[in-house]
Amino acid sequence: MEDCRATCPIWSVTDLPNKDHSSAYSGYDLGPIIRINPYELHINDPEYYDELYVGPSTRRTLKYEWAVRGFGPTNYAFATISHELHRTRRGAIAPFFSKTLVQQLEPSVVTMIQKLVNRLEKLKGTGTVVNLIEMYPCLTSDIICQYAFASPYGYLDMPEFAPLWHNALMDASEGFLFFSQFPWLETLMRKLPQPLVRELVPNLSSLFLMTGEMLRVFQMVREKVDQVQADLANDKKPDGQRTIFHDLFTNDSLSPEEKTPERLAAEGFSVVGAGSAFVVSLWPCHRLIFSSSQTVAHTLAVISYHLIANPDILKKLQDELAGVMPTDDSTPKWSRLEQLPYMGAIIQEGLRVSCGVSHRLQRISPDIDLTFKASPQTHGNSKQQAQEWIIPKGTPVGMTSVLLHFNPSLFPDPHTFSPDRWLGSDAGYLRRFIVPFSKGSRQCLGMNLAYCELYLTLATLFAPGRFHFELFETGIEDVEVKHDFFNASQSLSSKGIRVKVF
């Protein structure tokens, strides 16, 4: 048994197989555990995922301060480093994203999807090219705003599905990496005129062009907080749908310091992040970037591509949907769609190839050392199997969804979109290794809402007889994961996943 303080090799970036994910599995000579910088370890062994990402009853888990500083302030649950404070903050908002409440608020999701359908109906047969990587973020951002704040922002109403919004989301993803490395630049950039910052950091240009929109979203959220606070002070019941702020203000587990309007506004942003956001403080107010809505939107775009590009798969899906959607305007419940095996297989496969968050998610065990031993089914080298590593407490350790999802030992021919792999007898075992929402005490809060969006959106848009989509100058190279910007990204040379509607 060896101690990682002394024995883990230091690898240079050029040693790592990061240009073609498939090459990672021809390079096991690197070992299943490597030190990727002087402070941090990375593990590539699917069986260890459940050992690293554990629930609060197993052990205390911290986030890595270096990793969260790319998101700016840490006064909301997603970016909270402390185990105890995270449990308090998460516990206050988790009920709002329970499956039961998502089902109760399902009509708000359906309303937004129907709004998208109405826009697509107007584009039928016009020859207009629709970019799905721009269209779906508008949908998912409006859904989470409607769900959490009882008011959509209106991205679905914007011309051409607000292409600058998607560009800003991707610029923000790159910005996370940038500010993680150089957090001091955030303070400097906050003091400089925005036109000058656009010249100095052109990769964030779309982000700055969307500044006005983001400030308006910030204002909308803050107004909701103030309105709820005033209503509760006057003992006034909410008109219509309750917002997440009603639950936070009335939660007895939160201290008065945790209920300040400023902190609850930040938590509101992160909720638009549990379905959609990460926050970076780049201006006097928070800079809001809807990146988890981007994660759901990315998954929808990837699945849509594979359905359009594979008519046999689409036909099987539509044959199955015909049993619960007798007319093209039928609206089956999410609970009914979940029972459709082939649709479930398509969504599982879509989550696998789209990956969700592609970045390594570092975790720290502050109290006890961790033990790692390579699993024999994924690492055939007998020397590696026999070796154990002691990971000292306090060491940041990360794993990456892309390496799990494209592991050929688990998923033969991993770059092929094959829903049938989820219909076999080993499907239950394989689901252990699909981790777009991560696992453990820091698992994505918006998972239930994300599944609701995926089922309802795909069933509605691909219902038999409703729409016929044709790809426009789009190939598999526009879909495959090529970059890790915290969120998975296609090639930067891609023009998107473009379709025409008939």
pLDDT reported for residue 274: 41
Q: Which two tokens stand for residue 427?
A: 């499907």
Task: Say whether pLDDT at 107 is over 90.
Answer: yes
3-state secondary structure 248-266: HHCCCCCCHHHHCHHHHHH
Amino acid code (one letter) for 261: P
Pairing of strands 370-373, 2-3: unpaired
Which of 76-85, 87-96, 187-196 has maximum average pLDDT?
87-96
The C-alpha atoms of residue 446 and residue 349 are separated, in whole angstroms, by: 19
Residue 259, CA distances (Å) to 200, 211, 241, 262, 266 in order = 38, 27, 21, 8, 11
Residue 62, phi then psi, degrees to nearest 5: -110, 155
* Cα end-to-end span (Å), the chain: 63
pLDDT reported for residue 286: 37
Task: Say whether pLDDT at 484 is over 50.
Answer: yes
Residue 286 is given by DSSP the state P
Contacts of 315 (CB under 8 A, 6+ apart): none
Residue 208, CA distances (Å) to 77, 133, 164, 366, 401 in order = 26, 20, 10, 38, 30
Give the ranges where 99-159 is alpha helix by DSSP (H): 99-104, 106-123, 132-149
The C-alpha atoms of residue 405 and residue 410 are separated, in whole angstroms, by: 8
The C-alpha atoms of residue 25 and residue 292 are separated, in whole angstroms, by: 28
Q: Which two tokens stand for residue 81?
A: 């480093």
The per-residue pLDDT for range 397-441, each reduced to its tens digit, is 999 999 999 999 999 999 999 999 999 999 999 999 999 999 999
CA-based max dimension of the chain: 70
- The full DSSP string for 204-261 is GHHHHHTHHHHHHHHHHHHHHHHHHHHHHHTTPPPSSSPPHHHHHHT-TTS-GGGG-H
Q: Which two tokens stand for residue 3?
A: 């101690």
For residue 306, the surrounding DSSP H or E stretch is helix 292-309
**Reported confidence tier of residue 169, pLDDT bands at 50, 70, 90:** low
∠ CA 243-290-356, rounded to 5°: 110
What is the arrangement of strands in the sheet containing 62-63, beginning at the earlier edge strand?
33-35, 41-43, 397-398, 363-364, 62-63
Task: Say whether pLDDT at 310 is over 80.
Answer: yes
Pairing of strands 2-3, 388-391: parallel
Q: Which two tokens stand for residue 92?
A: 């206050």
Q: Which two tokens stand for residue 13?
A: 């970036």
The C-alpha atoms of residue 120 and residue 456 are separated, in whole angstroms, by: 16
Q: Which two tokens stand for residue 147?
A: 């769900």
- pTM (2 d.p.): 0.87
Please identify which residue in the block is written with the tokens 């979203």: 217
The C-alpha atoms of residue 450 and residue 205 are separated, in whole angstroms, by: 29
The C-alpha atoms of residue 274 and residue 292 are separated, in whole angstroms, by: 6
The per-residue pLDDT for range 203-258, each reduced to its tens digit, is 665 555 555 666 666 677 788 888 888 888 888 887 778 888 888 888 888 888 88
The C-alpha atoms of residue 303 and residue 309 are separated, in whole angstroms, by: 10
The per-residue pLDDT for range 271-308, each reduced to its tens digit, is 654 433 333 334 333 333 444 577 899 999 999 999 99
